[in-house]
Amino acid sequence: MAKEQRYRWRTSPHVIGQYVMDKHIPKGSHITLKPNEACLVVEKGRVAGTATQTNMEVNPEAGLLSKMFGSGTPERAFFFVLLGPHDVLIRITGRTKDGHDVSGCVGLKVEFNIQNLGRLLSLPAKGEMTIGVGDLGRMLFNEVNATINTEIVGSCSLEELRSDSGLREDAEAGLRMALRATFDSLALDFKGAWLSWEKTEHEKLLSMQDELDLMKQRNEVVDETANEEMQVMLRNRARQAELLHSMHVQDLNVAEKQKIAAEVAQLQARNDLESARWEVISSKELRQQQHTHQMDEAERGNALAAAKNDAEISNIQNQVELNKEQQKMDIAMSAFEQVQAAKRAREAQRMDHISDSKKAEMGMMERMLEKGFDTGATDSNVLQEMLRSQAAAKEHEASMTGKAFETQAGPPTCPSCNAQIQSGWVGCPMCGQKL
């Protein structure tokens, strides 16, 4: 009996949603959901139910997810979702009311609402089978930038932007109102937002998110341990940026500031260590990707070389066959030409023989006439006898000539029209000549 294989739907730390057809799941696979994961089961385009770690029953009729999973049903699909919370990082740019160009980062804290997960099916319907945090950022980018620029950046000076303690609450309220419809369409619950104008910190955050997004786009598979590590590293970095912003803009007492400062210091120390680990993991994945790419290139090269060799062998074989056919054709043409040449030679010989016979006949006739005049035998009886003798001689000569050519050329021919005849015929069917 084949050993069951655990199906792993999340192969990159940036992936938070995956739509997969049941027929594409390996046979014998089983699924285990984590506490913050959910699986939406779709039957014939409709939601059949939702399973979680604590409630694996899809619905009372269908039963448990484990019984439905991996059966290869063509009309069934599964939509796996990491519920969250998620930090969606969005780059923002704008100009303050005193004319300063600024750039920063907005961090949105969101969670998927398990009751509304069916709304996410609009994404696979558009061809988006894999959803990452970066995809959410791209969907929200324009609305977030417009809201922050209108309600925050454009109405503040540079100094107010960096020190006003009420900006966070204003940003949260503005984003909650402006993005309500979009959040509902994506089954998202808005949990809060924070701003960062510290370029060094938010650039590092955004570059880490971009790196994870690139992994997803390249379909890189990260092992489960590294996946969790990278997710924790990004979450810690985002938490540090949020705390730093709170220290600068919120009115805090000494104890609160000390508490936040201690947590920031702890996160900073951890982040320093994790930065090196991040580089190791990302470079490892890059090396694996490069190795895979090199293997693919080598395989393509080998396949191309094999195809080229097959084509050359096929061309050689075709050329050999063509040469054989050409050789046969040359032999046939040569034989045909020889036959035609022999035929022309026989025809020329026959014509020469006929010409010689006619000359001899004319000479004999002239001599007979001269003899007749000399002897006075010129009456009609004598002339008729002479003509009969001449015709008999001519017939005898033609018969002898035909037999001679029949012996030389093979099949006999008519002495009058040269048509092919057979032995035993008494007359020529073409000209009627008596044979």
Encode 27-84 in three state secondary structure: CCEECCCCCCEEEEEEECCEEEEEEECCCCEEECCCEEHHHHCCCCCCCEEEEEEECC
Is the pLDDT assigned to residue 409 strictly greater than 60? no
DSSP letter assigned to residue 4:
P
Nearest-angstrom CA–CA distance, 32 and 15: 17
pLDDT value, residue 236: 72
pLDDT value, residue 376: 60
Q: 242: number of CA atoms within 13 Å, CB side?
A: 17
Interval 353-360 mean pLDDT? 75
Is the pLDDT assigned to residue 261 strictly greater than 50? yes
The one-letter amino acid at 81: V
In a domain, 87, yes or no: no
Residue in this structure with the two tokens 């609009």, named with its chain if needed: 122
Nearest-angstrom CA–CA distance, 153 and 157: 8
| CA 123-125-129 angle, 5° bins | 60
In a domain, 276, yes or no: no
Two tokens at 124? 């696979």
CA atoms 285, 288, 294, 295: torsion sign: negative
Burial of residue 308 (number of CB atoms within 10 Å: 0-12, 13-18, 19+): exposed
Closest to 419 measured CA to CA, from 405, 337, 408, 179: 405
Interval 200-227 mean pLDDT? 66
Domains contained in the chain, number:
1
Res. 280 pLDDT band, cuts 50 70 90: low
Does residue 405 contact residue 346 with C-beta atoms inside 8 Å? yes
Closest to 94 measured CA to CA, from 145, 137, 159, 139: 145
| CA 259-264-266 angle, 5° bins | 95
In the three-class reduction of DSSP (H, G, I as helix; E, B as strand; rest coil), residue 384 is classed as: helix
In a domain, 381, yes or no: yes
In a domain, 44, yes or no: no
Is the pLDDT assigned to residue 201 strictly greater than 80? no
Nearest-angstrom CA–CA distance, 404 and 401: 5
**Around Cβ 182, how many Cβ atoms within 10 Å?**
16
List, in sequence order, every beta strand (DSSP E) within 206-331: none
Does residue 137 contact residue 179 with C-beta atoms inside 8 Å? no
In a domain, 12, yes or no: no
Closest to 346 measured CA to CA, from 334, 354, 358: 354
Res. 402 pLDDT band, cuts 50 70 90: low
Is the pLDDT assigned to residue 24 strictly greater than 70? yes
| CA 375-378-380 angle, 5° bins | 150
In a domain, 335, yes or no: yes
In a domain, 21, yes or no: no
In which element (H, E) is residue 382 found?
helix 380-409
Nearest-angstrom CA–CA distance, 87 and 3: 38
Q: Which residues contact 81 (CB under 8 A, 6 or more apart)?
A: 16, 17, 37, 38, 39, 40, 112, 117, 120
pLDDT one-digit tens code per residue, 284-341: 555 566 556 666 676 777 777 777 877 888 888 888 888 888 888 877 787 778 778 8
The one-letter amino acid at 235: R
pLDDT one-digit tens code per residue, 133-151: 888 988 999 999 998 888 8
| Average pLDDT in the chain | 76
DSSP letter assigned to residue 8:
-
Domain with 386, as residue range(s), is: 321-398
Nearest-angstrom CA–CA distance, 333 and 25: 66
pLDDT value, residue 407: 47
Res. 250 pLDDT band, cuts 50 70 90: low
Two tokens at 349? 């010989």
Is the pLDDT assigned to residue 112 strictly greater than 90? yes
In a domain, 393, yes or no: yes
Q: Which residues contact 136 (CB under 8 A, 6 or more apart)?
A: 16, 86, 88, 110, 186, 188
Nearest-angstrom CA–CA distance, 93 and 146: 10
Query: Where is mean pLDDT largest: 232-236, 425-429, 430-434?
Result: 232-236
Higher-pLDDT residue of 392, 346: 346
- Percent of the chain at pLDDT > 70 equals 67
pLDDT value, residue 111: 93
Higher-pLDDT residue of 316, 79: 79
pLDDT value, residue 1: 41
Higher-pLDDT residue of 128, 307: 128
